[in-house]
C-alpha cells in the first residue's frame, strides 16, 4: 500500500517548496475552471491540488515507519526528559513529592517550546 509521506513538511525548505507547488497547482486549476461550478467540484479541485503538490514535494512510501517519528523531539527535549526522570527517581528514593510535581509542571512547559517555535515560524501545517 502506497501512502504519501508528510513528515518532510515539518522542515523549512520542503514546506516552502510545498506551498509554492500548491500555489502553482491552484493557479493552473483556476484558469481551467468554469465560473459556475458546484461546491463538490471546488472541493475536488482543491483536493487534487493538495495531493499533486504533496506528490511532488514529499513522495511516496510503501509502508509506515517501524517507529513513530516525533517531529518536535530534539536534544533540548531529551535533556528536559532526562531531568524529569532524575526528579522522579529522587522522589521515589525518599524525596519530597511536591518538589517533583513542581519540577514536572515547569519541565512540561519547557518541553512544549519546540512545538511553539514551529508554530511561530508557520511550519506546523498539520
Per-residue pLDDT of the chain (126 residues; tens, 9 = 90+): 566 666 666 666 677 787 788 888 888 877 666 667 788 888 888 888 888 888 888 777 777 666 666 666 778 888 888 998 999 999 999 888 888 888 888 888 887 877 777 667 655 444
- 15 in Cβ contact with 118 (< 8 Å): no
pLDDT given for residue 124 in this prediction? 46
pLDDT given for residue 5 in this prediction? 66
- Give how far the C-alpha of residue 113 lies from the chain's centroid of Cα atoms, to the nearest Å: 14
Q: Quick count: other Cβ atoms within 10 Å of Cβ 53?
A: 20
pLDDT given for residue 70 in this prediction? 64
Residue ranges of the domains in the chain?
A: 3-61, 75-120
Alpha helices per DSSP H over 33-112: 39-57, 75-92, 97-111
Residues 91, 97, 99, 101, CA torsion sign: positive
Amino acid at each position: 500500500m502506497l501512502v504519501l509521506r508528510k513528515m518532510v513538511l515539518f522542515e523549512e525548505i520542503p514546506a516552502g517548496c510545498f506551498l509554492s507547488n500548491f500555489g502553482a497547482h491552484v493557479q493552473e486549476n483556476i484558469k481551467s475552471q468554469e465560473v459556475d461550478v458546484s461546491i463538490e467540484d471546488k472541493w475536488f479541485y482543491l483536493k487534487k491540488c493538495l495531493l499533486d503538490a504533496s506528490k511532488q514535494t514529499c513522495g511516496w512510501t510503501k509502508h509506515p515507519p517501524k517507529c513513530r517519528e516525533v517531529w518536535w523531539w530534539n536534544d533540548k527535549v531529551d535533556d528536559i526528559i532526562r531531568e524529569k526522570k532524575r526528579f522522579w527517581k529522587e522522589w521515589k528514593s525518599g524525596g519530597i513529592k511536591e518538589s517533583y510535581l513542581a519540577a514536572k509542571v515547569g519541565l512540561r512547559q519547557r518541553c512544549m517550546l519546540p512545538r511553539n517555535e514551529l508554530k511561530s515560524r508557520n511550519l506546523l501545517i498539520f
